[in-house]
Amino acid sequence: MTGVVRWAFAGLLAVLAFGLASVVLQIPGTGSALRSQVMAQLPQSGVDHAVTAVLLNFRGYDTFLELVVLLLALFGAWGLSDSIDEAPLDTDIDVLTELVAFLVPVLIVVAAYLLWVGAYSPGGAFQGGAVLAGAGVLLSLCDPGWRSRRVERIGEVLLVPGVLVFLLVGLASMLLGGQFLEYPRDMAGSLILLVEGFAMLSIAVTLHTLFAGTPRFGGGA
Amino acid sequence: MVGMTLVSWAFDIALGAALLWLAWRCLFTRNLFESVVLFVAFGLLMAIAWMRLEAPDVAMAEAAIGAGLTGALLMSALARLERPRTGQEEGR
């Protein structure tokens, strides 16, 4: 790279850094009006935790599209990757398999707990899904083919319900007289749990598939 | 009380400095494997920083997704970069 180009880049980066810094400095602190609005509407959201209320109720549309983006990202990754040799990690170390055998059930319980506790305190579908996916990654490290043997097609089928259930709940709330994703008030809590439950499964399978690579459609693994 | 404030200030400054240093090393180290490890370490410290900012939700997501799964994804990408593709003629 020639000197002039370098300096031009440096100048552009400096402008970018300056812009970012000035934006950050303009972020209003805890005194912003949104906080009090959220707190005022919280009793009607169906959950007791402000972050979950925003993510799954007030701004449910954003979270819905986030799930769609995650799915599209996976499709993109599938399009790019060839089927890759799944060489097992050559470890005959008992410590690894013993540890994973112990950890995976614990991680499943932790994920379910995170999902459930999201209604009251920090937690929720994304965190739970990530923990489940982590369990899957650990299993894949010990035994790369476990998913294609154990669950065959179910794993791939589970990619979809996160988006699908969210969409159906949104359409159902339209049928019941609200806007898209405007849950009926007395059912909001259970609907959020339903949406989050399926979202957690789909997030977990999506993240794990991103790690484990392309499924071999058509042929047995 | 003043002592506690000083300790938490010192902690925050050390945390911020460590984050900047890890980010720098992660971007400029030559060894890609080292870079991934530094990225995971960065994610974990970042989770602590989110806790210090009283954002436990973000901290949890950062630790699980940012450090854990992204780290695993980067590792597998690295393994695929180093291993030649199968089923095609080897080499270029």
- Structural domain count of chain B: 1
Domain presence at residue B78: yes
A123 and B68: CB-CB below 8 Å?
Answer: no
Tokens of A171: 């359409």
For A88, the 3-state DSSP assignment is coil
Give the integer Cα–Cα distance in Å for A162 and B54: 29
Give the integer Cα–Cα distance in Å for A162 and A69: 12
Domain presence at residue B68: yes
Q: Is the distance from CB of A118 to CB of A125 less than 8 angstroms?
A: yes
Give the integer Cα–Cα distance in Å for A211 and A147: 12
A126 and B65: CB-CB below 8 Å?
Answer: yes
Q: Looking up tokens 């097992």, which residue turns up? A: A88
Cβ of residue B84 closer than 8 Å to a chain A Cβ: no
ipTM: 0.75
Residue A98 CA to its chain's centroid (Å): 28
Tokens of B68: 């854990």
Domain presence at residue B70: yes
- For position A210, what pLDDT does the model report? 84
**How many Cβ atoms are within 10 Å of B72's Cβ, its own excluded?**
23
Decide if pLDDT at B86 tops 70. Answer: no
Q: Residue B33 sits in which domain range?
A: 2-82
> Phi/psi zone of residue A81: left (φ > 0), alpha (ψ -120 to 50 degrees), beta?
beta
- For position B92, what pLDDT does the model report? 37
Q: Is the distance from CB of A81 to CB of A88 less than 8 angstroms?
A: no
- For position B88, what pLDDT does the model report? 46
User: How would you class A102 by CB atoms within 10 Å of its CB: exposed for 0-12, middle for 13-18, buried for 19 or more?
Assistant: exposed
* Eight-class DSSP state of A89: P
Domain presence at residue B12: yes
Sequence-distant (≥ 6) Cβ neighbours of residue A45 within 8 angstroms: A53, A57, A58, A188
Of the candidates B56, B61, B72, the beta carbon closest to that of A211 is on: B72
Nearest CA to CA, how far is A84 from chain B (Å)?
Answer: 7
Give the integer Cα–Cα distance in Å for A190 and A201: 17
**How many Cβ atoms are within 10 Å of A97's Cβ, its own excluded?**
14
Give the integer Cα–Cα distance in Å for A3 and A9: 10
Tokens of A7: 């300096």
- For position A188, what pLDDT does the model report? 80
Q: Is the distance from CB of A201 to CB of A131 less than 8 angstroms?
A: no
Q: Is the distance from CB of A132 to CB of A114 less than 8 angstroms?
A: no
Domain presence at residue B74: yes
Give the integer Cα–Cα distance in Å for A214 and A103: 26
Give the integer Cα–Cα distance in Å for A83 and A215: 8
Q: Looking up tokens 């994703």, which residue turns up? A: A181
Distance in Å from the first CA to the final CA of chain A: 47
Of the candidates A122, A123, A211, the beta carbon closest to that of B76 is on: A211
CB-CB neighbors (< 8 A) of A131 in chain B: 64
Q: pLDDT per residue over B31-79, tens digit each?
A: 999 999 999 999 999 999 999 988 888 898 898 888 888 998 888 888 8
Cβ of residue B65 closer than 8 Å to a chain A Cβ: yes
Residue B37 one-letter amino acid = V
Per-residue confidence of chain A (221 residues) as pLDDT tens digits? 678 999 999 999 999 999 999 998 887 766 667 778 888 888 888 788 888 888 888 888 888 899 999 999 888 887 776 555 555 555 566 778 888 889 999 999 999 999 888 888 888 888 899 999 999 888 888 877 777 666 656 677 888 888 898 888 888 888 887 777 778 777 788 888 888 899 999 999 888 888 877 555 443 33
